[in-house]
A and B are shown apart, each in its own frame.
Chain A
Amino acid sequence: MTILSQTALQEIDEIRQNYPTARAALLPALYVAQREFGWLSPEAYAAVSDLLGVPPAIARGVGTFYAMYKNKPMGRHVVQLCTNVSCMILGAEKLVDFLKNKYGLEPGGTTVDNRFSLVIMECIGACGTAPAMLVNDDFYENLTEKYIEEILGKYQ
């Protein structure tokens, strides 16, 4: 009895074959589970640990260590905005305020309509074209308030 889809189960099985130990396969396997639900719920951890034969406490330890695993429910689209040095200098903090005022989107929070979640992230290597952000897996740079509005419009 697992909550993972057939595709996910298969994918994790394949991942497992590529690693010498079950623990080594934990990181990519957790990604698969996160993709299924948008975040890693206790049930998701249990499912992955059961599948790989890794104790669940260990899986949760790993999943809570890395920032790119989400340990609470996320909105339909996850906005990850960089506020590290370059982005900050070029106005990322104003963009944070903009998101708050325009969409009611607080750092670490989710909009009431569950459309967006905002995660403040560290450098994504786009200092030359700062400020930069990710929406889900899509990358955007040279952000302005207007540009953000235009981008977010694409994500319903």
Chain B
Amino acid sequence: MDIEQANLTAVERMMESHPVLVGVGKALDVIPGMREDLLLHAGPPITWERASGPMRGAITGALIFEGKAKNEAEAQKLIESGEIALEPCHHHNAVGPMAGLTSASMQVYIIEDKKFGHNTFSNLNEGYGKVLRYGAYSEEVINRLTWMNDTMAPLLRDAIEASGGIDMKALISEQLHMGDEAHNRNKAGSILFLKALAPHIARVAKDGATAGDVLQAIGDNALAVLNPVMAACKAMAIAAHGIEGSTIVSTMARNGTDFGIRVSGLGDQWFTGPVGNPKGLYFPGYTAEDGSGDIGDSTITETIGIGGFAMATAPAIVTFVSGTPKDAMNATLEMYEINYTEHKYFTMPALDFRGTPTGIDIRKVVETGITPRVNTGIAHKDAGVGQIGAGLVRPPMSIFEEALVAYAEKYGF
């Protein structure tokens, strides 16, 4: 078996994947294996007992949204009795930011990989403030979810279909030239998204007021494009997954309690360890004490070579880690040490159009002692408070070491 050849295949497939946003549909109808009694969540598998505050809040909110529970106690009962099952989004070709909660009747983005043919999914982004993904489930949260599902989603669906599909690979490569690293900063990408959708929304909307509301919801939300970007990244990661002999990481995700990775050549086995607490900047009135453990599937961006790995292209957000533009450069240079290649299509002007570091190699992580750098939002540890900051976090080294040992056992090293 040739490790280099396997890794080359994995990263080539990752880079040649061609995700296009083709529609919006109901989770139950479009996500493979979705059921009425199933909730999808971010990160590796989790139980109620071990779930963090924001995760429990989001589960509660999703069950309220589905009309299955009225409060946290009822939600807990449903989950612990097994009446409602919890499974990772990643087990269903889906991803979701922060808690990543996706329930059967939620509308989700549909990505089609034009190169390899598979579909991936992500829920819709709610914007800022009190939102489900940070564990909030008050009435206003549920009302907003309902409006998104009933009003915004159908219009988005019609507009996307009318557009003939939005090329997410082209959009990501362009936003990377506009100051986004596409994980913590999606300002430019969201405007590109709005630009791509706007004419079609205007044409397909039944009335101007609805069109205006939806356009405003997207325009006001600098993270509007995050979810389709993540689903696009998931498509690229799937393309790289399951290559016999490959040491390339094909999933990184957190559920607020555990940080989990999967490796291309090691099948669907998760390697998990305790999440860290992000270091970063906090909104007024909050400190590191208030922060929840690291959470969300958005590390799918770093998995395929953007996000924290592309910091050199996003100097505007280095303040999150109280750094300088030079630190942003160095962050990307550091990530080259543990990645297998440089991206063919995602380039960074500040590094003379060098490709982003792509394809985390567990061998290099273990050898150098450098763990991947992840940019992330910071959730409050209590359910329902929402985002309180943003910063930098790294997965525990132990999960890469365990993966390497498992690899050695599987392949006889």
Q: Do A and B bind each other?
A: no
A residues within 8 Å of B by Cβ?
none
